[in-house]
Amino acid sequence: MKAVRFHEHGGPEVLRYEEVSDPEVAAHEILVRVRACALNHLDLWLRKGLPGVKVHLPHISGADVAGEVAAVGAVCTRVKPGQRVVLMPAVSCGQCQACLIGRDNLCRQYQILGGYGSVDGGYAEYVKVPEVNAIPLADHLTFEAAAAVPLTFLTAWNMLVTLARVQRGEEVLVIGAGSGVGAAAVQIAKLLGARVIATAGSEAKLAKAKALGADHGINHASQDIAAEVRTLTGKRGVDVVFEHVGEAVWAKCLAALTPGGRLVTCGATTGFNATTDLRLLFSKQLSILGSYMGRKGDLLALWKFVESGDFKGVVDSTFPLKEATAAQRRMEGRQHFGKIVLQP
């Protein structure tokens, strides 16, 4: 099959579109013909390389996959060849305590498709996964829109529903609403009945965030986040900050919280050495919550809202698989709103 791999770390130019061996499925696995694979910032970090993090090379990235079942292993009974599916973007052992109590994202063997470790992802014509990872894809949903959902919506659901426990009537600040996870957070927070304040780096992106349900927008390229939040909330502050940017906005995010507020974070795209004023933390009785992906059951729970149209996978643009280099350059240039999708 054809796939895009990198054999060494570096810029987008290290990506190679090349012939590789077809995956061989075990008895409990299925082979999926990839029809759409959405990009994530994880793809960029892995390609660049991170200090102290070992990546299996050569590496096939791509966690968000939608396609058609091409073959099934000997003990698979739930999905059939030819069936349209979207994939849960991570695998776990299925046997440890964390897995058995439904907290598989705490499994010591938890791996994201195309992420750290040796599990290949969807920058390819075919990908193999355990059968348990397959979710039937309704005919009215396109492969591209479906691929734009799993990782970002699963992460945002875990952050807002499971961890921050957003309640109706609360105020939620969503940082970076132009990203895939930010666009997902806007939609989930609105479904929960919150008042949503979204930030983005341009007026065009803020307009799109409002179209998804955001009540107010802050242009973080020209406005002070904490000051604008104080104005919009009558100096009260927000109940929840949804954060995935890290160092560049960390102090402003904490300052934007009301006493007793919760900050939930899942990323550090601008740097991980964020400084916290502990006096602010304890005097305002704030909570800081870390989030990593989510549970398989959460994706099933939120998928019904995808099928109903309440949640929409936002597709910024599509590229042929062989143009993965150009797709990643677009992501690095922060030109996109929503997900960039590859089509093998």
State mean pLDDT over 137-159.
Answer: 97
Residues 215 and 286 in one domain: yes
User: How many domains does the chain contain in total?
Assistant: 2
Angle at 298 between CA 295 and CA 303, to 5 degrees: 135
Question: Does residue 296 form part of some domain?
Answer: no
Which range, of 47-51, 65-69, 130-134, 189-193, averages the lowest pLDDT? 47-51
Question: Does residue 131 form part of some domain?
Answer: yes
Tens digit of pLDDT for each residue in 96-121?
999 999 999 999 999 999 998 789 99
For residue 142, pLDDT beyond 90: yes
Residues 138 and 186 in one domain: no
> Using the 8-state DSSP alphabet, how is residue 15 labeled?
E
Return the pLDDT at 52.
79
Which residues are within 8 A (CB) of 72 and not within 5 positions of it... i.e. 6 or more apart?
A: 25, 30, 31, 79, 80, 81, 131
H helix runs in the chain, sequence order:
41-48, 97-100, 143-147, 150-157, 180-191, 203-211, 225-232, 250-255, 278-283, 296-308, 324-332
Residues 264 and 328 in one domain: no
Which residues are within 8 A (CB) of 232 and not within 5 positions of it... i.e. 6 or more apart?
A: 197, 216, 218
Res. 125 pLDDT band, cuts 50 70 90: very high
For residue 285, pLDDT beyond 90: yes
Residues 198 and 137 in one domain: no
CATH assignment of the domain containing 184: 3.90.180.10
Contact status, residue 246 vs residue 270, Cβ threshold 8 Å: yes
State mean pLDDT over 126-149.
Answer: 97
Tens digit of pLDDT for each residue in 55-103?
889 999 999 999 999 999 999 999 999 999 999 999 999 999 999 999 9
Contact status, residue 26 vs residue 315, Cβ threshold 8 Å: no
Residues 72 and 189 in one domain: no
Question: Does residue 306 form part of some domain?
Answer: no
Tens digit of pLDDT for each residue in 213-262?
999 999 999 999 999 999 999 999 999 999 999 999 999 999 999 999 99
Return the pLDDT at 259.
98
How does the average pLDDT of the chain come out, rounded? 95
Residues 139 and 163 in one domain: no
Return the pLDDT at 32.
98
Question: Does residue 202 form part of some domain?
Answer: yes
Tens digit of pLDDT for each residue in 157-186?
999 999 999 999 999 999 999 888 999 999
Q: Does the predicted model carry a pTM greater than 0.85?
A: yes
Residues 144 and 8 in one domain: yes
The residue among 301, 114, 268 whose CA lies nearest residue 181 is: 268
The tokens for 167 are 């309640």
Return the pLDDT at 269.
83
Domain hosting 12: range is: 2-148+313-343
Residues 72 and 115 in one domain: yes
Return the pLDDT at 203.
93
Question: Does residue 303 form part of some domain?
Answer: no
State mean pLDDT over 114-136.
Answer: 94
Question: Does residue 243 form part of some domain?
Answer: yes
Residues 7 and 136 in one domain: yes
Question: Does residue 255 form part of some domain?
Answer: yes
Question: Does residue 251 form part of some domain?
Answer: yes
Residues 29 and 91 in one domain: yes
Residues 141 and 16 in one domain: yes
Residues 229 and 318 in one domain: no
